[in-house]
């Protein structure tokens, strides 16, 4: 374990572990727990940044280790010599702690490992790296009731396969693009897709086109189509929000501030509303040729925290079932959210869906990385 520039802490994961059989676990201190953001047993990707929470029912000192081999523990918490003390309670302590200037970043090789939490009533002098046997000998000198342990297993996946890039241009522009049934946005559009065979569907303004795409790793595929369309007029659609002043995005493009009336070709469109201090909102709206008088009114929730989301592949992003549009691989999108439980889902053609639930508290600035494994 070594400190990188900009205070990036690399988690080095080693040999596969079926169970933490060699780790000390005889203490009886009650309520000791640790959980990786997104849940234990999740799959991590090299280069991914992670966070975790740890706690105990009463006041105690917290020590967290990365177990990269059956008998080697590398200390992640505390960062320096000063111990981290938890006052107890169900929320625990979040790591990295706000303002600490630390990131925990995953490196290879692939395999299983553990985050191991040791909670003690008294502070301990622990080196940056310690063997399981040395730690067990140290704990032998403590009363069983004065310490406790918990662990959280993870798995590091192999590096992802090179993606293929698809660029789609249509005449007319603004057609809705689906790949394998996943809504990607409106043309013109560029997206990264997993290698393999995909089904492309373009529709809107009375036009419909479907075809198969066979993509190899690293392919760069351009598709330019001129499609016959019916003589359908551009329709108007009214958008309002409570409170007023939300920024309205249609198919990922800014169009107006509410209350307002937008114009679009008939079809299904993705509408997203953003306003400072309010939770982001998204939904699909169907705009028809005769919809001059139709519209939507959205009541926005007050936001008291933020959630920053990244994905390891281009993906359609959903928050609590609401579609929020296309997120590029590695791009960070910060979402204003209300306190409480939230579910984030990412969908991408040729990949397994990524889904995580997270508890957000007032004032939190949480980060989440979603990994979409190739099918």
pLDDT in tens, 334-351: 999 999 999 999 998 888
Tell me, yes or no, if the pTM score tops 0.75.
Answer: no
Pick the CATH number of 3-156 from 3.90.280, 2.60.40, 3.90.380, 3.40.50: 3.90.280
Give the containing element (helix H, strand E) for 139.
Answer: helix 132-140
Half-sphere exposure of 251 (CA within 13 A, CB side): 23
* pLDDT recorded at residue 120: 94
Look-up: residue for tokens 């003690």? Answer: 120
Domain 164-226 bears CATH identifier 1.10.10.10: no
CA atoms of 339 and 360, how far apart (whole Å): 5
Look-up: residue for tokens 């393999």? Answer: 196
Are β-strands 365-370 and 305-311 bridged in parallel, bridged antiparallel, or unpaired?
A: parallel
Domain extents in the chain = 3-156, 164-226, 235-299, 305-370
Give me the residues paired with residue 179 across strands: 182, 200
CATH class of 235-299: mainly beta
Give the containing element (helix H, strand E) for 140.
Answer: helix 132-140
CA atoms of 355 and 317, how far apart (whole Å): 10
DSSP class of residue 278 equals: B
| Identical topology for domains 235-299 and 305-370 | yes
Low-confidence ranges of the chain (pLDDT < 70): 1-21, 70, 81, 89-90, 159-161, 205-206, 229-233, 289-293
Residue 131 CB burial class (10 angstroms; 0-12, 13-18, ≥19): middle
Return the CATH architecture of domain 305-370: Sandwich (2.60)
Are β-strands 43-44 and 147-156 bridged in parallel, bridged antiparallel, or unpaired?
A: parallel
């Amino acid at each position: 374990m070594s400190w990188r520039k900009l205070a990036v802490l690399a988690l080095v994961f080693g040999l596969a572990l079926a169970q933490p059989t060699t780790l000390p676990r005889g203490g009886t201190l009650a309520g000791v727990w640790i959980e990786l953001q997104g849940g234990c047993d999740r799959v991590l990707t090299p280069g991914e940044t992670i966070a975790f929470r740890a706690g105990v029912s009463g006041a105690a000192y917290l020590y967290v280790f990365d177990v990269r081999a059956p008998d080697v523990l590398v200390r992640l918490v505390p960062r320096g010599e000063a111990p981290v003390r938890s006052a107890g309670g169900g929320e625990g302590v979040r790591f990295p702690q706000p303002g600490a200037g630390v990131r925990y970043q995953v490196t290879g090789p692939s395999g299983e490992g553990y985050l191991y939490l040791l909670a003690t009533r008294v502070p301990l002098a622990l080196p940056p790296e310690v063997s399981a046997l040395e730690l067990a000998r140290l704990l032998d000198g403590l009363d069983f009731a004065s310490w406790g342990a918990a662990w959280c297993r993870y798995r590091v996946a192999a590096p992802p396969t090179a993606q293929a890039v698809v660029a789609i241009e249509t005449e007319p522009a603004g057609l809705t693009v689906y790949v394998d049934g996943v809504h990607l946005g409106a043309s013109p559009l560029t997206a990264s897709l997993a290698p393999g065979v995909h089904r492309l569907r373009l529709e809107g303004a009375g036009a419909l086109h479907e075809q198969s795409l066979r993509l190899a790793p690293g392919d760069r595929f351009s598709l330019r189509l001129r499609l016959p369309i019916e003589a359908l007029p551009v329709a108007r659609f009214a958008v309002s929000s409570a409170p007023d002043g939300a920024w309205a995005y249609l198919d990922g493009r800014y169009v107006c501030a509410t209350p307002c009336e937008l114009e679009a070709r008939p079809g299904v469109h993705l509408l997203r509303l953003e306003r400072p201090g309010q939770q982001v909102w998204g939904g699909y709206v169907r705009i028809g040729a005769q919809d001059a008088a139709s519209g939507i009114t959205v009541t926005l929730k007050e936001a008291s925290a933020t959630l920053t989301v990244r994905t390891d592949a281009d993906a359609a992003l959903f928050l609590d079932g609401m579609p929020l549009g296309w997120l590029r691989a590695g791009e960070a999108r910060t979402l204003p959210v209300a306190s409480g439980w939230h579910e984030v889902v990412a969908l991408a053609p040729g990949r397994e869906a990524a889904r995580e639930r997270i508890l957000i508290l007032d004032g939190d600035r949480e980060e989440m990385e979603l990994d979409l494994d190739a099918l």
